[in-house]
Amino acid sequence: MSILYKTLLRPAVFLQDSEKAHSRVLRILSSLSKNKFSLSMVGALYSSPELPVNLFDIDFPNPIGVAAGMDKNGEAVPSWQSIGYGFCEIGGVTLHEQPGNPKPRMFRASKENALINRMGFNNMGAKALKKQLQFWKDRGLWPDSPLGINLGKSKVTPLQDAHLDYSSSINILWNHADFFVINVSSPNTPGLRDLQESKNLDSIINECCETNKRISAEKGISQKPLLVKIAPELGDGFLEDIIKIVEKYELSGIVATNTTVHRPKIKHKSSEKIYREEGGLSGAPLRDKSTEMIRKIFRLTNGRIPIIGVGGILTADDAWEKIKAGASLLQLYTGLVFEGPGIAKSIVKGLKKCIELEGFDSIEDAVGIEA
């Protein structure tokens, strides 16, 4: 199936503008999502074998998830499980609807297996996302696998009010998320990465935790896991400060990492023009930087803080490397673009073989063994 995608489908898709191709694929998945028969047919082709992980007191059918940015507005929520994913993270969503940055804003460096984007949190806003998610629930199409929501700051919101922006989105979307990810690391919203500074992040996390506690108490059920997503360029001092805040508020984990503004050495001269575009770089060139950040977090915390690893995962070997560095769950974005819809199934099958070959009983046994 992967060979069919690479030889026939991918060349046709790659003739199109990157963002337009992305939108067309989402429309197809959205249509499939509205029909249980279609979902079952897709599942017959692409569903992954069971490789269960329990994290945050949540059961994940397998450790491979869809990263934020792929399905910003929850258009294809039911389909992700059908094509093999153990969970999905939708968004980033902001409190206010916003169009994002001017187009073009997504670019492929095909020979590098990389994407550059400067989307700028284009999304329909928290209230509209709530309606979209309720649509799936009302029609009995909600997936069995967990759903996370990635939260960003609205561009119109001043940095000093960011804590209210994030917490308001949690208040609106609380009933529809299994976990929330507080995204303070996108490079495409002016000033956003300044929120990774400890004084700013502390304010945001505190407000989000208070909102989470309040709603939890009102409903008489457990709080939702809160995680924070960080940039791959963080220096040791910044990272240590973030870890202190994560521990102070007993957050559930860290997502490592977002895209990078760094441009590594290119392998093909034809990629030079694309690499000059502004925005965050994802895909194969991010792999090692992301893995090293995972390893660093695991070492600094002695494995106390769970990590969702994302960045440059295209194969089962890439995934296994991140698990051994300290990641308990993994997410794909660019890998799906370059490897096609069979990538999750392929990676899960590969991870099962790795576990068997190395004599482990589960994914959890391998987490951090090479940190």
In the chain, count H helices and then E strands. 15, 13
Active-site hit among 30, 48, 168, 186: 186
Nearest Cα neighbor of 150 from 310, 301, 314 is 310
Helices (H), the chain: 2-4, 10-13, 18-33, 36-46, 77-82, 126-138, 162-173, 198-219, 236-248, 272-275, 287-301, 316-325, 334-339, 343-357, 363-366
Farthest-apart Cα atoms in the chain, separation: 59
CA-CA distance, 145 to 65, in Å (whole number)? 10
Residue type, 293: M
Long-range contacts of 368-371 (CB under 8 A, 24+ apart): 368/298, 368/303, 368/324, 368/325, 368/326, 369/324, 370/295, 370/324, 370/325, 371/295, 371/298, 371/299, 371/303, 371/324, 371/325, 371/326
CA-CA distance, 106 to 103, in Å (whole number)? 8
List beta partners, residue 91.
150
In whole angstroms, how far apart are CA 199 and each of 194, 205, 224?
10, 10, 23
Backbone angles phi, psi at 232, to 5 degrees: -75, -15
186 is catalytic: yes
Judged by DSSP in three states, 150 sits in strand
Nearest Cα neighbor of 253 from 275, 230, 220, 231 is 230
Tell the residue number behind the tokens 């576990």, with chain if given.
355
CB atoms within 10 A of CB 172: 17
CA-CA distance, 74 to 26, in Å (whole number)? 10
| CA-only gyration radius of the chain, Å | 19
Cite the active site residues. Answer: 186
